[in-house]
Chains A and B, each alone.
Chain A
Amino acid sequence: MNWLSDFVRPKIKKIATKDIADNLWTKCPQCGKMLFNKELEKNDFICSGCDHHLRLPLDRRFSMLFDNGEYKLITLPKLQEDPLNFKDSKKYTDRLRSYRKNTGNDDAIKVAQGEIGGITCIIAALDFGFMGGSMGTVVGEGIVKAGDIAVRGGYPLITIAASGGARMQEGILSLMQMARTTAAVNMVKEKGLPFISIMTDPTTGGVSASFAMLGDVNIAEKGCVIGFAGARVIEQTIREKLPEGFQKAEYLKEHGMVDIVTRRPEMRKTLIRVISILTHRQPQIKQLAIESK
């Protein structure tokens, strides 16, 4: 399978992202508690004070979900960069370059293949750290590629959203990715293969209004923000305070938009259960996801 690139073994020590490694402490954005980074990392980036789920590096996300923390990253084809020749206060190409340098990733998506409970699955995950996880043509390409491999191999597809929405710097082409990614997941669904959408903080705008909302089963990570319009835009439109818990995972579940809200440490177990039931298989849980020690 020529789209498979290097075999990745999780290197736990290198998992911490740069910006966190630079400092010893992180302040919980919800309760304000100062969290010792090593502790935070060990605790799956969950605040020990208020159980707030902080954002998780992609590699860590993958190693938490796949059996033995083992997976293969899939190489995405190169696309023409900056098709609009976009420039605001900064050139889009310069922005891309600096995000690539800081994240070590080409764009806001990674696609991986591995086993979950002994069942081979494809995961396409968005990286909020790369331009807010915004969806442009490369993210679209990743979802299409993931869908394509799922269909060819007969594998379940899992997407993990973490995105502010469409990538404005790609103009209309970013809007087109809503239809494109929808076509990709629809391809998987029409084959009778499970498509599981995991929503993490945040899942908004063009990503929530396309593939992320279309899972056979929608699973949201506890406390994450999910919505179409931004809270500020809504506040400006209606000129009133937003209700308590508005656009949080639990609010979405209450309103019938997601099936399951789960804490991060239980995500793997939830996935195994759902996927094995939908594929009529007994999960072979060889070993739980790698312990984060």
Chain B
Amino acid sequence: MNTSTNTLILDFEKTIFEIETKIESLKYLAQDENVDISQEVTRLQHKLEKQMRASYSNLSPWQKSQVARHPSRPHCLDYVHALIEDFTPLSGDRCFADDEAMVGGIGRFQGVSVVVLGQEKGHDIESRVRYNFGMAKPEGYRKAQRLMDMANKFNMPVIAFVDTSGAFPGVEAEARGQAEAIASSIEKCLQINVPIISVVIGEGGSGGAIAIATANRVLMLEHSIYSVISPEGCASILWRSADKVKEATEALKLTAQDLRRLGVIDEIIAEPVGGAHRNPAQTIERVGECIAKHLKELMAQSRDEIKKRRTEKFLRMGRHFAESK
């Protein structure tokens, strides 16, 4: 169990952190003195496991939002490097610039040639600035469109890792048509006839997320969130108070479990006990397995069917309650 990367301690994780610290210091002590600590460590590890199960099986929507945004959570490029062989990043929108917040490229997923898209948030100050905190600009969404066209041309499925607080709000982004870039990216998702699988790995923030998540299959990690507006934004607009962020988070129904119930996503991928940030390798492996399963199903469909079913699915969004009754 990797505790050293957990630099951020969430408020409900204090007990967990205390036990983790005890285990670490015991191990450290044992290096110098010849004491047998194995029994105590086993006892503490059981306790830790129990505590983590208890905390993490019952996270509130606000706590989930914190886990979803945890800086040590595996990010887009962690998945890409672990799951995609021969990943070859491709750059630029051929109009204006390359947007590093939007990862794009080609590679092989379990031997199948694919196009990969996703927002990268970065893992330290330097990389966060470089990736603009995972907030893509119009050129990022235009790069995504270009690569979706390429996927269509060469009959390659698209795999997208969604992790963004939203599209970048700025004067330049508006001047270059952020709205148009997102709208056209959604439209492109609907126009191509190769499978699209989108995985919300952390934060699915509004239009910036759905621009690459208008997919045949939308998968979500257990503690990830996907919402029309950030809890903070919602609290300040509807409650006119930043203090009401917990209420807003509850009301928005933004957890993977809520979205599954609402029929918006197709599958929830279980995270390791204690959240993805405690065991990135296992998380990534599970995500890979789930993508493989859905990809296999989708690749059995004809290209016409792929497109038709995706369009039909989104045309029903919001009507499906009436239909299920």
Contacts and interface: CB of A to CB of B under 8 A. Distances in A.
Contacts of B252: 84, 168, 171-172
Interface stretch (B72-80, B175-183, B277-285): B175-183
B318 interface: yes
A80 B324 CA distance: 11
Contact of A168 (B171, B228, B315): B228
Contact of A211 (B183, B248, B258): B183
Interface string A229-258: 110011001100011001100000001110
Contacts of A168: 228-229, 234, 237-238, 252
Nearest to B189: A179
Contacts of A54: none
B179 A214 contact: no
A88 interface: yes
A203 to B, nearest CB: 8
A180 B315 contact: yes
Interface string B184-200: 10110111000000000
Given A79-B319, A256-B177, A228 B182 contact: yes
B206 A206 contact: yes
A234 B171 CA distance: 7
A144 interface: yes
B245 to A, nearest CB: 12
Interface stretch (A116-124, A182-190, A281-289): A182-190
Given A171-B253, A172-B262, A206-B228, A243 B171 contact: yes
A183 B190 contact: yes
Contact of A173 (B175, B211, B239, B317): B317
A172 B226 contact: yes
Interface string B242-256: 000001100111100
Interface in B120-135: none
B111 interface: no
Interface string B163-177: 000010111011111
A63 interface: no
Given A228-B167, A234-B170, A77 B264 contact: no
Given A77-B322, A247-B174, A176 B229 contact: no
Chain A interface mostly helix, strand, loop or mixed? Answer: helix
Contacts of A175: 206-207, 209-210, 226-228
A186 B190 contact: yes
Contacts of A187: 311, 315
A186 B187 CA distance: 7
Interface string A61-90: 000000000000000011110011011110
Nearest to A86: B251
A178 interface: yes
Given A186-B187, A243-B171, A179 B179 contact: no
Contacts of B318: 79, 83, 136-137, 140-141, 170, 173, 176-177, 180
Contact of A257 (B180, B189, B214, B228): B180
B321 interface: yes
B184 A246 contact: no
Interface residues of B, number: 54
B321 A79 contact: yes
A249 to B, nearest CB: 13
A84 B207 CA distance: 20
B218 to A, nearest CB: 10
A173 B189 CA distance: 18
A17 interface: no
A66 B94 CA distance: 42
A227 B176 CA distance: 11
Contacts of B319: 77, 79, 137, 141, 144
Interface string A198-234: 0000001110111111100000000000111110011
Contact of B254 (A172, A184, A229): A172
Nearest to B206: A175
B207 A228 contact: yes
Nearest to A190: B191
A182 B214 contact: yes
Contacts of A178: 183, 186, 207, 210
A242 B169 CA distance: 12
A275 to B, nearest CB: 21
B206 A179 contact: no
B228 A166 contact: yes
Nearest to B214: A179
B68 to A, nearest CB: 14
A113 interface: no
A113 B227 CA distance: 34
A87 B251 contact: yes
A164 to B, nearest CB: 10
6 contacts: A83-B318, A171-B253, A172-B262, A172-B264, A234-B169, A256-B177
Instruction: Please name the 4 residue pairs, one residue from A and one from B, whose CB atoms are nearest each other, closest first.
Output: A137-B318, A229-B169, A208-B179, A176-B317
Interface of A: 77-80, 83-84, 86-89, 136-137, 140-141, 144, 166, 168-180, 182-184, 186-187, 190, 204-206, 208-214, 226-230, 233-234, 237-238, 242-243, 246-247, 255-257
